[in-house]
Structure 1
Amino acid sequence: MSKKILFIVGSLRKGSFNHQMAQVAEKALAGKAEVSYLDYSQVPLMNQDFELPTPAAVAKARDAVLAADAIWIFSPVYNWSIPGVVKNLLDWLSRALDLSDTTSASALHEKFVTVSSVANGTSPDEVFKEYSRLLPFIRMQVVEPFTGAPVNPEAWGTGELVLSEEKTAALATQAEALLAAIQ
């Protein structure tokens, strides 16, 4: 039975550099795991007033997470932190499935997770620190190493991310670590 890894790309921009990095990681997982990408573009802003009934886009995202063996987040760095769209998604997904017991399991509960980041001119270390604090708090099992890469300067004109051989190899190592965790 093939393992299922759900990719969450932290930029909703079409052709984003983090989506391009995810495609490189997907190649590293070819033949080893089934990869799918979460479309969470319709998830509303978190608001407990609208929690019940569960918004359709939230229910769809929860179902995708519950069906996955692991999550791989590809995150840009927004002002040295987690992009708001990803934080909002994680806020929804970290809510208890049974709201009558808010300490009960969420869709993310004990789910394996790893993070990679393409960052513009800055190190992704700051966003990795944010994820390293947040993910265990929402009861996820963090799998390291994380992989960070810079945007190659010409990408701003061409729209094409070019990863070094070193970064491509780091993504392959990260993929193997995630696969080992879910075995």
Structure 2
Amino acid sequence: MKNILFVVGSLRQGSFNHQLAEKAEKALEGKASVTYLNWKDVPVFSQDLEANAPASVQTAREAVLAADAIWIFSPVYNFAIPGSVKNLLDWLSRALDLSDTTGASALQDKIVTISSVANGGHEPLFAAYNALLPFIRTQAVGDFTGISVNPEAWGTGELVVAEDKLAAVAAQADALLEATK
């Protein structure tokens, strides 16, 4: 069974992107194992820290290396990739062997897909990821899925996803699995 690593870009308890990840996990049920990356302690990237990467970075790298594919659930911050998610990707894209800075990273050749829950800005977000992912030597697969927050969720805290969007997430899951063969 393939191991899919979920990276939820919002660290907020009960975030809408985490709720979407749970729905995606159901789409993968019986087809792949899913793990969630705990990256809340990854520090701001600094070359001063790189030679002796903190334990939180090492743990994140190990999880990425063990994964067959990565699914990022990203909010939209100012029509862009959240700085915290970009910081994580910066750490993960650095060479594992610092004697060869052009060498392989934990992300090397990883299959990646993106979903996003936000009230807008999905297209600029997806364009930013489409520019970044090949640069950090990953392979983007599937149609990225953008979902708007249902208005009542701001009061209830519960994300409701329309059936057509759930079907898009299921298709995205299938594309991710197909790419790992």
- Which bracket does the TM-score occupy, shorter chain normalised? over 0.9
Confirm whether residue 30 of structure 1 aligns to residue 39 of structure 2.
no
Output the CA distance in 2 between the equivalents of 1:97 and 1:113.
19
- Which of structure 1's runs of 4+ aligned residues deviate more than 3 A? none
Unaligned runs of 5+ in 2: none
Return the match for 2:140 from 139, 142, 147: 142
Match of 1:87 in 2: 86
Question: What is the CA distance between 1:144 and its match in structure 2?
Answer: 1.9
Match of 1:168 in 2: 166
Q: TM-score w.r.t. structure 1 length?
A: 0.98
Q: Structure 2 counterpart of 1:59, which letter?
A: Q
Deviation per CA, 1:65-110, whole angstroms, max 9, x where unpaired? 0000000000000000001110000000000000010110000000
Give RMSD over aligned pairs. Answer: 0.6
Question: What is the CA distance between 1:26 and its match in structure 2?
Answer: 0.3
Question: What is the CA distance between 1:4 and its match in structure 2?
Answer: 0.2
Output the CA distance in 1 between the equivalents of 2:85 and 2:105.
16
Q: TM-score w.r.t. structure 2 length?
A: 0.99
Match of 1:55 in 2: 54
Match of 2:5 in 1: 6
Output the CA distance in 2 between the equivalents of 1:54 and 1:62.
10
Return the match for 1:154 from 152, 155, 160: 152
Question: What is the CA distance between 1:118 and its match in structure 2?
Answer: 0.5
Q: Percent identity?
A: 67
- The number of equivalent residue pairs is 181
CA contact under 8 A between 1:123 and 1:150: conserved in structure 2?
no
Question: What is the CA distance between 1:49 and its match in structure 2?
Answer: 0.5
Match of 1:15 in 2: 14
CA contact under 8 A between 1:6 and 1:70: conserved in structure 2?
yes
